Structure 1
Amino acid sequence: MEQEPIIMDVVNPQAAGIDVGSRSHWVAVGQSEKDVREFGVFNQDLFAMAAWLEEKNIRTVALESTGTYWQNLYAVLMARGFHLVLCNGKFTKNIKGKKTDIKDCQWIQKLHTLGLLTSSFLPDGKTEELRTYCRQRGNLLRSVASTSKKMQKNLRLLNLRLDVVVKDICGLTGLLIIRSICSGETDPKKLASLRHGNCRKSSEEIARALESNGRKDYLFALKQELDTYDHLQGKIAACDREIEKVLDEIINSDDNKRQHHIDAKPYKRLNKNTPKDIDLNLKAYQMFEGTDLMAIEGMSYSTVLALMSEVGMEGIKKFRTAKHFASWLRLAPNNRVSGGKVLSSKVPKGSNRLKIALRNAANAIGNLKDSTPLRDFFHRINFRKGRVSAVSATARKLAVIIWNMVVKGVPYTNPEGYLFLDQKRKMGLVKRIKKQIDKFGLTNEDLGLETVPI
């Protein structure tokens, strides 16, 4: 009996495939040798590629997201009106036999013609611009952290144990003392007098830790690192100004965003790495058109900034369901089922900056002292599966909550709400008193309380 061949339908008849490289791009518009050409990576080469694709009546193009080499090519082809599918390289690596650039681009063209390639997520232009500034700011913050460690090392080599008596050497007290040391001050008492009022250690304790051994080489290295620290802080301030400028452009260009206003949240703590001159509470409320993401406990300004810069409002709406959004973040389990049996349900490897921000927010939720729905959920998972699983599960729940708030307009409500410190103390005292009354079975007569007849 002759076996019938399986024929797959052509979904994209006028399709091309591009194997993106660092020095050249290979383009295939068909499966024969004459349908493959190589182009360079210079600007004139990219325009020549676009002209050749137009000559071949190509409408849609698939290309791999290889490093950062695809971005200029993507911009040129997008400007020429092609429909582009930017696919992950792991979906195009099933080719058999000897691997060559020609076979790679033909394989991509074949898969795209049959409609077997899906496009990766890409934010809109303004969100991508905001993302560039925020990622540069993150790189600068990591450089600042490295510089801070080097300053701490040089102080330790000078036998100035500032790290023992001060929690953060780059805080108010630490920086004042370091600047005075670099200016030539050696008297421990004068250095200790620079302590801030909030410092827990006394001036006497700080003075005992600031008796130097007088090494000039380590002092020179400390001055160099302090100059680097100040230089990086200036660059971070410049990034903050550009971030604020892009946020204002996005909000002011849309009347629906500009009309919203929200009061400040004094109970939200400002981290020292948070942009100081940007009201991110108001900007986020306007960016997401009246959605108060800061109402979620554990959400910080850095988490909201990561959400605005990595996906944006229009980016979140591209995901059809909350499950798709959580799966893209790689926070959902990847269930492998065979024969009706679940073989594996691990969370896929890999992360992006938004996933890291949500995991940090989930970790902060787990550290909350007051009982909230998300904090109780975290501790239930933590008791059963450990803290790592609890962080992932809570981060996934945060992603689902955010998607429902932004896309469906479902507000988040904390049943207990936020309380200030005096309110928390009052409620804690009331709970303890009630617990003691119930424990000893006290009545109104025992407490000396008179009941007023109605």
Structure 2
Amino acid sequence: MNENKISMEIVNSNAAGIDIGSRSHWVAVGQKEEDIKEFGVFNEDLKNLSNWLKEKNIQTVAMESTGTYWQTLYAILLADGFQVILCNGKFTKNIKGRKTDVQDCQWIQKLHSIGLLTGSFLPDETTEKLRTYCRHRANLLDSAASTSKKMQKYLRLLNLRLDVVVNDICGLTGLLIIHAICNGETDALKLAELRHGNCRKTEKEIAKALHTNGREDYLFALNQELEMYEVLQSKISQCDVEIEKILNTTIDQDNNKKEHHIEPKKHKKINKNTPKNIDLNLMAYQYFEGVDLLAIEGVSYSTVLSIMSEVGLEGIKKFPTAKHFASWLRLTPNNKISGGKILSNRIPKGSNRLKIALRNAANAIGNLKDSTPLSDFFKRINFRKGRVSAISATARKLAMIIRNMVVKNQSYVNPEGYLFLDEKRKLGLVKRIQKQITKFGLTNEDISFATS
């Protein structure tokens, strides 16, 4: 009896699969034992890996995006002329059974040969450099926030309740007082005289909170944390300089970007963590070639900087539609349907920095006091499904609006799609009536006669 076999067409004939590891990389150029080889992770080993692939006449390579171990090998293979596909690990999972590095690289090679693997999104080199600076700056901000909390802790242990009389101990008034405390000043009245004019509390109220118990160990720790905070602020300023350099270089190299100009936005609040000495309003307008993303309510300078550093202008254009962009951000429900019944429609797990930035912008929209189409949309979802779902849904709307504005070079207009259902019906009814009036050529006298 003849056995029936199902064969799949080979799409990539000269394909290799690489299982990325922290100490070695396993490479498969076929399914036989002699087609598999292990290489180290040093630069010499990576060069040997590339040369071995050339000897085997390999043209395209697929690898998993395992941590950051893939980046050096990816750059070398790309420079040597290979077509490299970086795959998400969930698309290269093997069937259940014994798992080894050899079987993994064979499985990746097999999937890539028959064309079942797709590459992950990767930004261009300029955007990648900007992303490195911005992510490093965000990590420094987190460290500075942690240091600020420790300073507040040691002030409290010293019985200096500065956090009660000022909103931010790292503000103008707070830092002046902390510097004086670390320099040995213990007189509460003299410390209160350092109050900035914008502080709401009076000198008398501040002086009541600044009677210390004089513990030397807490004072030493406070001094250490203050020095650490100032070092971190200095590092953040250096990052701001590098961010400004790379943005200026990107804009100066394109005449289409340089010709755009926009007036400052006085109504946009500048957060203290916003990069200093950088006109992000103008730079973002030039970077996106005349598209003003800051015109969208809830979108801040940090949101725009995240868009520029995480995907960039050319990166957004790689997505064929706005829905693809929202799906890549994991802001679109992953519907699972069987037998015509929806089994699950949850948003996929995982967050990148741009998704977090858009969710923060959506949360700001939910806090708006003024009624806007986006805030009305947020409130409607919030009433039906809760605030968490409203933030996700509004973040998805923002992602689609931003993508369409950038790709189609459009200005922001409050769309009719965010109106309430009753308002949509009313608007549709008015349009239908106007269409009927035009169709039958009715005049004002006919309309008044019909309604009398």
Distance in 2 separating the partners of 1:249 and 1:109:
40
Query: What is the Cα deviation at residue 410 of structure 1?
Result: 2.5
Distance in 1 separating the partners of 2:363 and 2:199:
27
Distance in 1 separating the partners of 2:97 and 2:329:
34
Deviations 1:173-202 (A, max 9, x none): 111111111111111111111112221111
Match for residue 328 of structure 1?
Answer: 328
Deviations 1:97-139 (A, max 9, x none): 3211111101000000011111011000000000000000000
Are 1:231 and 2:240 counterparts? no
**Partner SS for 2:200:** coil
Paired residue type of 1:205: E
Match for residue 292 of structure 1?
Answer: 292
Paired residue type of 1:156: R
Distance in 2 separating the partners of 1:287 and 1:11:
39
**Partner SS for 1:37:** strand
**Structure 1 residues 198-207 or 59-68, which shifts more?**
198-207
**Superposition pairs for residues 226-375 of structure 1, below 5 Å?**
226-375=226-375
**Structure 1 residues 169-178 or 151-160, which shifts more?**
169-178
Match for residue 98 of structure 1?
Answer: 98
- Structure 2: runs of 5 or more not aligned: 416-452
Distance in 1 separating the partners of 2:95 and 2:67:
21
Contact 1:47–1:76 (CA under 8 A) maintained in structure 2: yes
Query: What is the Cα deviation at residue 82 of structure 1?
Result: 0.5
Match for residue 425 of structure 1?
Answer: none
Distance in 2 separating the partners of 1:414 and 1:27:
53
Distance in 1 separating the partners of 2:28 and 2:241:
44
Distance in 1 separating the partners of 2:270 and 2:200:
20
Distance in 1 separating the partners of 2:353 and 2:37:
37
Match for residue 146 of structure 1?
Answer: 146
Distance in 1 separating the partners of 2:116 and 2:76:
24
Contact 1:162–1:209 (CA under 8 A) maintained in structure 2: yes
Contact 2:28–2:106 (CA under 8 A) maintained in structure 1: yes
Q: How many residue pairs get matched? A: 415
**Superposition pairs for residues 124-139 of structure 1, below 5 Å?**
124-139=124-139
Paired residue type of 2:304: V
Distance in 2 separating the partners of 1:155 and 1:51:
61
Match for residue 193 of structure 1?
Answer: 193
Contact 1:95–1:107 (CA under 8 A) maintained in structure 2: no
**Superposition pairs for residues 27-176 of structure 1, below 5 Å?**
27-176=27-176
State the TM-score, normalized to the length of structure 2: 0.90
Match for residue 395 of structure 1?
Answer: 395
Distance in 2 separating the partners of 1:78 and 1:411:
38
Q: Are residues 410 and 3 of structure 1, via their aligned partners in 2, closer, same or farther at CA, if it must alter by over 3 Å?
A: farther
State the TM-score, normalized to the length of structure 1: 0.90
Distance in 2 separating the partners of 1:2 and 1:264:
78
Query: What is the Cα deviation at residue 261 of structure 1?
Result: 1.1
Query: What is the Cα deviation at residue 4 of structure 1?
Result: 3.0
**Partner SS for 2:61:** strand
Match for residue 446 of structure 1?
Answer: none
Match for residue 221 of structure 1?
Answer: 221
**Partner SS for 2:393:** helix
Query: What is the Cα deviation at residue 94 of structure 1?
Result: 2.2
Match for residue 420 of structure 1?
Answer: none
Paired residue type of 1:253: Q
Deviations 1:227-274 (A, max 9, x none): 000000000000000111111111111111122111110100000000
**Partner SS for 1:84:** strand
Paired residue type of 1:325: F
Contact 1:285–1:292 (CA under 8 A) maintained in structure 2: yes
- Structure 1: runs of 5 or more not aligned: 416-454
Paired residue type of 1:397: K
Deviations 1:38-77 (A, max 9, x none): 1111111111111111111111000000010000000000
**Partner SS for 2:39:** strand
Distance in 1 separating the partners of 2:407 and 2:11:
31
Distance in 2 separating the partners of 1:197 and 1:413:
41
Deviations 1:348-368 (A, max 9, x none): 110000000000000011111
Deviations 1:298-334 (A, max 9, x none): 1100000000000000000111111110000000000
Distance in 1 separating the partners of 2:46 and 2:232:
37
Distance in 1 separating the partners of 2:37 and 2:265:
59
Paired residue type of 2:298: G
Contact 2:94–2:104 (CA under 8 A) maintained in structure 1: no
Distance in 2 separating the partners of 1:329 and 1:241:
29
Query: What is the Cα deviation at residue 414 of structure 1?
Result: 4.5
Q: Are residues 23 and 223 of structure 1, via their aligned partners in 2, closer, same or farther at CA, if it must alter by over 3 Å?
A: same
**Superposition pairs for residues 369-448 of structure 1, below 5 Å?**
369-414=369-414
Distance in 2 separating the partners of 1:398 and 1:172:
35
Distance in 1 separating the partners of 2:52 and 2:245:
39
Match for residue 422 of structure 2?
Answer: none
Contact 1:295–1:413 (CA under 8 A) maintained in structure 2: no
Are 1:16 and 2:16 counterparts? yes
**Partner SS for 2:195:** coil
Contact 1:330–1:347 (CA under 8 A) maintained in structure 2: yes
Distance in 2 separating the partners of 1:365 and 1:179:
38
Distance in 2 separating the partners of 1:409 and 1:243:
25
**Partner SS for 1:342:** strand
**Structure 1 residues 197-206 or 315-324, which shifts more?**
197-206
Distance in 2 separating the partners of 1:238 and 1:22:
32
**Structure 1 residues 191-200 or 270-279, which shifts more?**
191-200
Distance in 1 separating the partners of 2:360 and 2:131:
19
Deviations 1:365-390 (A, max 9, x none): 11111111111111111111111011
